[in-house]
Structure 1
Amino acid sequence: MTMNSELDPQVRQVLDLLDQQRAPPTYGASVETARDQFDELFSMLDPQPVGDVQNLTIPGPKRPIPIRVYAPEDGPDDAPGVFVTFHGGGWVLGDLDTHDPFCRAVTNAADCLVISVDYRRAPEHPFPAAVEDCYTAVEWAGEYAGDLGGDPERLAVGGDSAGGNLAAAVTLLARDRGGPDLCHQSLIYPAVNSVVGEEFDSYEENGAGYLLEHESMEWYDERYIQDDLDARNEYAAPLLARDLSGLPPATVITAGFDPLRDEGIAYVDRLEDAGVAVEHEHFPEMIHAFVSMLDVVDRAHDGIETVADGLRDAFDAQAR
């Protein structure tokens, strides 16, 4: 699938700046160096003020799970809906701090309670550790969000890239295990495919020069999936799931210059074929991770609004 478009000029400036820094690509770096580079990239952002921020820990499958809870300054009169979000970073990079600006922006735009989850990362903790932590955090939110001022009856999940993968996996687990009743899923350029899945055109078209490199995706996969059988597990790669019916309505964001573009679009098609309501917003001139570039790329705010619109609609529908 070829999609002709022009790269956004602000995105081009970001890419040029990164080129000038001459940092090694992720696939050529150690885990520690890659994490440092990722942290430095997101430390340039200026976070928005919100009503309240709390750092907490909750019980996890193997260790306590750190979470960060954001409350809007002027939220709705009733208890707001709850959005549990999982950060991107290839299951290896990223943490509560790298995605703090994103969480704050969604808190304000959607007038909701946001819970950011610091799940265990690979390679120290390969699949399924991250999935188990994220599902545990959603179960916890369904039970205790009311104590934080939120409405546990209006519970949504989401994330970007690897976080989108985890959010999609959590919806499958919640359905299969009879877990929390989720009203929405927000998938931002989700990594839903597997190394044993279809080889999409966007891997070749956008696999170099647009921030996320195809070789870096392979580097992430090798650290996250350390058992060949896991590469075929639908909770590791939701696009491989045989049945996507019974999942919550979805907002899916894809970007034109993203190697993950086509698998995100394929997941939209699979959801729709399964009868799941989907709002798909494609940004043809954008790259992977653009929604997090709030201070430097204007269309990042449109991405935030897309997420917020989906959450507001879902929360309103659940309240009726």
Structure 2
Amino acid sequence: MDKLTPLSRMLVDRMAGEHNWAELGPVAFREYLVANRQPPTGEDNIVAQDVDADGVPVRLYRPAEREDDLPVLLFMHGGGFVSGTVNNYDRLCHRIARKAGCAVASVEYRLAPEHPYPAAVEDAIAALGWVAREGGKYGIDTSRIAIGGDSAGGTLSIVASLNARDRGGPAIRHMMLIYPGLDLASETESKREFGRGGYMLDEAFSAMCIGAYTPDPARRAEPNASPLRAESVAGLPSATIIVPECDPLRDDILAFSARLEAAGVPVDTKVYPGVFHGFVSTFGILPEADDALDRATAGLKAALAPAA
């Protein structure tokens, strides 16, 4: 029985197309995404500039009418560690900046297979350090930093947060986690149920991405690759977590949410029935995507509000 809503099923079938990406490989998938980018429409009235963050390309977004120093979301895009670009996420970053009333710093981290693990982790940590040190030159209030992203970008956000905690900074107020990957080596019921049958993130595609990102299987259990395996999650920032019901990653995400809660970390987690991995990027089409984006940006805005 298909658990997707009718509109979700239509979108998944349209996006999946007729390509077998597991056979064509990560570079072909990346090129396909670049060619099929959805540009922003301009309705959010955002200005953007590209900067060099200690060798890591970053695109800064801010509402055009704002001239004051703004809090910032360091954003890590998704794409299975092998694909996705800042350009592919322009539309989403424009909307986040508008709805949360903050700056967004979107990171062009290095991709596998050309740059396997831990290259992306190193870039995420470097970009976070750069924002904390140099953000003030670009109208950023560096006392109000959040981090977040979707899928692989959510993974990198958690890993960067763990490293910041363990290294004594930079201080992070909040994590905005949109269906993050938590464990490259786990076997869960949701991976068995939704890894087949046309639920977007199938097991063959996942295996392709994981193989490219971590060619050495022994490293997949490292906390910097699989943050669910971190010894402790105590002391992490508060989190808003968006979870699709029909996502192979669902059970790992819920396990991470439960660990945060048990460690006393404030967490707001919502499971959206009948939707798929990647659904938030369909805002404006799928009602659940609009609701999820509203929830994520509301949590972000509240966490980044000036201290009373």
Secondary structure of the equivalent of 1:109?
helix
CA-CA distance at 1:6 after TM superposition: 4.7
Matches within 5 A, 1:44-59: 46=41, 48-59=43-54
Post-superposition Cα deviations, 1:123-154, rounded to whole Å, max 9, x if no partner, equal 11111110110111011101121111121000
Counterpart amino acid of residue 204 in structure 2 = E
Question: Residue 18 of structure 1: which of 15, 18, 22 is its match?
Answer: 15
CA-CA distance at 1:157 after TM superposition: 0.2
Of stretches 37-46 and 106-115 in structure 1, the one that deviates more from structure 2 is: 37-46
| Aligned equivalent of 1:301 | 290
Secondary structure of the equivalent of 1:81?
strand
CA-CA distance at 1:241 after TM superposition: 0.6
CA-CA distance at 1:183 after TM superposition: 0.3
CA-CA distance at 1:165 after TM superposition: 0.3
Query: Conserved in 1, the CA contact under 8 Å of 2:39 and 2:91?
Result: no
Post-superposition Cα deviations, 1:203-244, rounded to whole Å, max 9, x if no partner, equal 111112011112211111111112233212101110001111
Post-superposition Cα deviations, 1:11-55, rounded to whole Å, max 9, x if no partner, equal 122123235x4122x212122211122234443775644331101
Unaligned 5+ runs, structure 1: none
What CA distance in whole angstroms lies between the structure 2 residues aligned with 1:35 and 1:119?
A: 14
Question: Residue 72 of structure 1: which of 63, 75, 79 is its match?
Answer: 63
Query: Conserved in 2, the CA contact under 8 Å of 1:119 and 1:133?
Result: yes
1:158 aligns with 2:154: no
| Aligned equivalent of 1:98 | 88
What CA distance in whole angstroms lies between the structure 2 residues aligned with 1:302 and 1:5?
A: 22
Counterpart amino acid of residue 187 in structure 1 = L
Query: Conserved in 2, the CA contact under 8 Å of 1:161 and 1:190?
Result: yes
Question: Residue 300 of structure 2: which of 311, 316, 319 is its match?
Answer: 311
Counterpart amino acid of residue 257 in structure 2 = V
| Aligned equivalent of 1:203 | 191
Counterpart amino acid of residue 50 in structure 2 = N
CA-CA distance at 1:78 after TM superposition: 4.7
Query: Conserved in 1, the CA contact under 8 Å of 2:195 and 2:202?
Result: yes
Unaligned 5+ runs, structure 2: none
What CA distance in whole angstroms lies between the structure 1 residues aligned with 2:120 and 2:142?
A: 22
What CA distance in whole angstroms lies between the structure 2 residues aligned with 1:241 and 1:152?
A: 27
Secondary structure of the equivalent of 2:141?
coil
Counterpart amino acid of residue 138 in structure 1 = L
| Aligned equivalent of 2:138 | 148
Post-superposition Cα deviations, 1:70-121, rounded to whole Å, max 9, x if no partner, equal 001344x852211001000000000101111110110000000000000011
Question: Residue 118 of structure 2: which of 108, 112, 128 is its match?
Answer: 128
Secondary structure of the equivalent of 1:99?
helix
What CA distance in whole angstroms lies between the structure 2 residues aligned with 1:51 and 1:39?
A: 21
What CA distance in whole angstroms lies between the structure 2 residues aligned with 1:171 and 1:154?
A: 14
What CA distance in whole angstroms lies between the structure 2 residues aligned with 1:115 and 1:57?
A: 11
What CA distance in whole angstroms lies between the structure 2 residues aligned with 1:82 and 1:71?
A: 9
What CA distance in whole angstroms lies between the structure 2 residues aligned with 1:136 and 1:272?
A: 28
1:247 aligns with 2:236: yes
Counterpart amino acid of residue 181 in structure 1 = A
Counterpart amino acid of residue 160 in structure 2 = V
What CA distance in whole angstroms lies between the structure 2 residues aligned with 1:71 and 1:23?
A: 37
Decide whether aligned partners of structure 1 residues 179 and 229 sit closer, same or farther in structure 2, where only a CA change above 3 A counts.
farther
What CA distance in whole angstroms lies between the structure 1 residues aligned with 2:15 and 2:156?
A: 28
* TM-score using structure 1 length: 0.91
Aligned identity (percent) is 36
| Aligned equivalent of 2:218 | 229
CA-CA distance at 1:58 after TM superposition: 1.9
Question: Residue 25 of structure 2: which of 30, 37, 48 is its match?
Answer: 30
Query: Conserved in 1, the CA contact under 8 Å of 2:78 and 2:152?
Result: yes
Secondary structure of the equivalent of 1:125?
coil
Secondary structure of the equivalent of 2:143?
coil
Size of the alignment, in residue pairs? 307
| Aligned equivalent of 1:119 | 109
CA-CA distance at 1:268 after TM superposition: 0.2
1:263 aligns with 2:258: no
| Aligned equivalent of 2:79 | 89
* TM-score using structure 2 length: 0.94
Secondary structure of the equivalent of 1:158?
strand
What CA distance in whole angstroms lies between the structure 1 residues aligned with 2:139 and 2:40?
A: 28
Query: Conserved in 2, the CA contact under 8 Å of 1:156 and 1:184?
Result: yes
